[in-house]
Structure formats: structure tokens, C-alpha cells
A and B are shown apart, each in its own frame.
Chain A
Amino acid sequence: MPRVKARIMNKEAIDRALVRIAHEILERNNGTDGLALVGIRTGGVHLARRLAANINRIEGVDVPLGALDVTMYRDDLASRGKKMPLGKTDVTFSVKDMKVVLVDDVLYTGRTIRAALDSIMDLGRPQQIQLAVLLDRGHKELPITADYVGKNVPTSRKEAVKVLLTEEGGSDEVVIMDLEGGE
């Protein structure tokens, strides 16, 4: 069994990071005009919803919110470790000419984001796509960088980073687990 090695963010730290990112998104995009948030299933969807709530508290505007399941766009059909059931892609607004902020929990190899970029492009042609992540853990395999980062955490490939959110029955914390001994 993987063992919890360190707790690197608690609820307050996650909340503060998401408030800061919400401000950064608004600052960089000059407000909410043409702005949309799209979360990547499953963790990113919850974070996108929280960011949208923060943006509403700051600007009083509900920005369009969508969810993306990128499974069908992955380059590792069948070989990926976690076998999650396929989720729904739910983007009910047109992404054409929008400034779309993709939201995910952890940026690791960049392959999920590559898949998400292709997936969004198939739905329409946004004016811009930006990327917000709660954690950037390094080990990129593709030239993909986040525009908004909650926390940079240097990790080893032998470790797993888990974002546990209350929406999924977790406790709102980020932990590093040791994969030595096998998962």
C-alpha cells in the first residue's frame, strides 16, 4: 500500500491559492469579458467550480463553466494505470472566441493537458487557452506550462501527489505518497 509521506497543503492553503488564482485570472484577462472556465475530470472540475465561485465573489459575475473528460483524446489508451469510468464532457456554451482557462489539479507529464487542448479545439476555436493548476510537480514530457499555479512541488517519479477534495469525500488537503513497494 502506498504510504502518505507528507501533507503539503491543508484546507486554508488550498482556499488561499484558489483566491489568489481567481484574482490572477481576472487581472490577466481584464475582468470576466469572454472568460470561461473548463475543468478536467475529475479533480479539475471541482477546482473550476471553486474558482468560478471566487470570481463571482470578487466581480459578481457568473462565468461559463464546463467539464471535460479527455479519456478519448489520450495517447495511452488501455495502458494507463488508473482505470476510471468514462465521464461526460459537458461544455454547454460555445468556446468560439472565448478565453478558456483549463483547470486541473496536478500538472505532471503534460499529457493530460495535451489531450485537453485537442479536446477543446474539437469543440470550437477559442481565442486563447490558459492553464490553471493547483499543483505543478515537475517531470514534464511535453512543452506545456501552467499560467496559474497554486504551488510548485518538486517531487520524485516514485511519489504520487494526491489532491483530496471534500467534493470527492476527501478532507481538502494535498498529500505526497510513496509508491515504493508498488501501488
Chain B
Amino acid sequence: MPLKQKDLLGIEGLDRSDIEHIIATADSLKEVSTRDIKKVPALRGKTIVNLFYEPSTRTRTSFELAGKRLSADVINMSVSTSSVVKGETLLDTVMNIEAMNSDIIIIRHSMSGAPSLIAKELKSSVINAGDGAHEHPTQALLDLYTIKERLGRTDGLKVAIVGDIAHSRVARSNILCLNKMGVEVRVCGPATLIPAGIEEMGVEVYYRPEEALKDVDAIMMLRIQMERQGSGLFPGVREYSRLFGLNEARVRLAKEGAIIMHPGPINRGVEISPAVADGPYSVILDQVTNGVAVRMAVLYLLSEGRA
């Protein structure tokens, strides 16, 4: 069963059965990465272009490995070495890439909506690898896969997302995804980092982790973007860490066996203490492993729909 759409622009365009189908496919593909020969020929002869206008190691590497484990040819383009520095527009860049017969373009861009803009102009499938504060769908899918793998279900679970909700595409995609899967979502952070009206997305808002973490099944910590320090949104990193950082005492408020998640990169000792990040309930590295499987599933299912 291919996906119904040409592109993966966000969780918003998926329904629950699409999400379940992607997760089930990822679960089958995970085994490939455990083999001696970590490769299957499914996408042999397909060309995938990684087009990253923002820095990334995890997501770009993860997509690159996912493509290569399916035998596709993967090209990486980063802005600093491309014609963008010579003033080429986004659309011109992607039209030129497509003129070289690309099949899938994976894009990360600081502007919300950039992936959907290029998807309209291209025959290639477009995958959103993060656009501004809008969406990061494969992150939400790999988070969901990790939750399902660890906790065995999604319906009726409680998940708290803690940190800079306002600027986080990871939070947005996760809220959309978890809601569709029957999870009760709580968000928590300083009032300045919680967007007004977020309740309308179907979440409960908390300003104190002591309340937000009570009896949750999973805690998702978000990276506090150091770039925002001094922006006036929160007084300082040390205060943030004291009020919102995840330490062992706060973990104990959650349900017994609750899992600790983080999309990375982590700021040790800021939003998460090293003891928690490396502790027995942390699934942060499982998320990374599952990320490759989920991206293989997305690449495969979109290709299946193209032929």
C-alpha cells in the first residue's frame, strides 16, 4: 500500500491509518539495519537529494543512511557550498535539481511553508525535514514509533512535552501526531515560550513541571535553543535549568517505567541532567535508531506511490 500523497509535508495531511501504516512499515524495515549487509535493493536507481538550508547532523545523516540502505543514490547539498550563496532563489535551485531527474527531494528550511512551496512546482516527491516553526513530520513519526515500541500502545497514554513550545516544529508535529493516535498531550514551559491559543490544538497547558509530569507515560524534553538566550523570553539558562530542567526527582513524578525522550541535540545539564539522559528510562538513542527505520519507510512508501 503506497501513501496516498506525493509528498510528506507534515503530520497535518496524514490520517491515523497513514500513520499506522508508516510505523508498521518502519517496524518491518528496522531489521535491515541489524544485518551484516545493511542494504536492500528496493530503491535501486532512484535519486534522492538532501537539501539542507539549516544545520543538521542527525536528520541529514539519518535520511542519507535510510536512502542508502534502500540502495538509492543520495546526494547531499548544504547551503554553504551551493549556488544559494551566489543568490539563486529556492525555486530555481530545486528546478535545477529536478532537471537532473531527482525522484525525492528532502528539504530543511528556516521558512515555514518552504517545502509546500516547492512541492507544488515539482514532480519529485518532497519530504519536509523541518521548516521553520511549522512541522518536522519524520521526527514525530519516529517519536511515535519509539513510544509504541516501548509502551506497546498509544491510546490513553499521557505524554508531556517540556520546553520551548513556541519555536518548536518538533512540538507542533508531535502534538498533531499524538492527538491523532489517541494520546493525551500536555505542554509545559515558561509562559513566554507557550504560544497563545495552543489549547485549541487539543493540549493541556502547564507552567510547572511538578504538575505537568505527574503520572505521565512519556516525557519529551525539547532543546532550549541557546541562540534565544538574551532574547528576553527567559531570564537565563541557569534559571531555566532550575525551573524546567529534567532531573531525577522530577522523573519520579511520572508513572513507574515512564520513558524519557529528546529529539537531540541535547544540552547536558540545561534541559536534561546527564543522570537522566544516560539513565535507564532514557530512550534517546532508540529514537535515533528508529529514525533511520522510519525514514526508510517514508522513502519507500512515497516511491511505491510514484511508479
CB proximity of B113 to chain A, nearest CB, Å: 29
A85 touches B (CB below 8 Å): yes
Interchain CA distance A179-B306 in the complex, whole Å: 27
What is the CB-to-nearest-CB distance from A51 to chain B, in angstroms, rounded to a whole number? 23
CA gap between A73 and B41 in the complex, in Å: 6
B304 and A78 within 8 A (CB): yes
Q: How far is the CA of A87 from the CA of B37 in the complex (A)?
A: 19
Query: Which segment of B21-29, B85-93, B252-260, B282-290 sits at the interface?
Result: B21-29
- Complex formed: what's the CA distance from A104 to B268 in Å? 52
Looking at B36, B39, B43, B303, the one whose CB has the most chain A CB atoms below 10 A away is B36
Of chain B, the residue at the smallest CB distance from A94 is: B36
Q: How far is the CB of A40 from chain B (nearest CB, A)?
A: 14
Q: Contact at A86–B29, with CB atoms within 8 Å?
A: yes
Task: Please name all residues of chain B whose beta carbon is closer than 8 Å to the beta carbon of A7 when the two chains form the complex.
Answer: none
Is there contact, CB below 8 Å, between B42 and A78?
A: no
Q: Is A16 an interface residue (CB 8 A)?
A: no
In the complex, A83→B300 CA distance in Å? 13
Bound: A124/B304 CA distance, A: 27
Residues in chain B near residue A89, CB distance under 8 A = 28, 31-32
How many Å from the CB of A145 to the closest CB on chain B?
24
Interface centre among A79, A86, A88 (most CB of B within 10 A): A86
> Chain A residues near B40 (CB, 8 Å)?
72-73, 119, 122
Provide the bound-state CA to CA distance between A90 and B25, in Å: 14
Residue A54 CB within 8 A of the other chain: no
A79 and B41 alpha carbons, distance in the complex (Å): 16
Determine chain A's interface SS by DSSP, over half rule.
Answer: loop
Query: Bound complex: CA of A111 vs CA of B24, how far in Å?
Result: 25
For chain A residues 122-158, which have a beta carbon within 8 Å of chain B? 122-124
A83 to B70, CA, bound (A): 19
CB <8 Å contact, B304 and A77: yes
Q: Which of A54-92 contact B (CB under 8 A)?
A: 69, 71-74, 77-79, 83-90
Residues of A within 8 A of B43 (CB): 77
Q: Is the CB of B42 within 8 A of A83?
A: no
Asked if A97 CB lies within 8 Å of chain B CBs, one says: no
Contact check, A88 vs B31: say whether CB atoms are below 8 A apart.
yes
Q: Which of A72, A85, A89 has the most CB atoms of chain B within a 10 A radius of its CB?
A: A72
Q: Is the CB of A78 within 8 A of B28?
A: no
A118 located at the interface, meaning its Cβ lies under 8 Å from any Cβ of chain B in the complex? yes
18 pairs, A vs B, C-beta closer than 8 Å: A71-B42, A72-B32, A72-B42, A73-B40, A74-B42, A77-B43, A78-B307, A83-B1, A83-B2, A85-B1, A85-B25, A85-B28, A86-B28, A86-B300, A88-B27, A89-B28, A122-B37, A123-B36
List of 10 A-B pairs having minimum Cβ-Cβ separation, nearest first: A78-B307, A72-B40, A72-B42, A86-B28, A83-B1, A78-B304, A88-B28, A122-B37, A86-B25, A89-B31
Seed contacts A85-B24, A122-B40; 14 additional CB < 8 Å A-B pairs: A69-B28, A72-B29, A72-B40, A72-B300, A77-B304, A83-B1, A86-B24, A87-B28, A88-B31, A89-B31, A118-B41, A122-B35, A123-B35, A124-B36
A interface with B by C-beta (< 8 Å): 69, 71-74, 77-79, 83-90, 118-119, 122-124
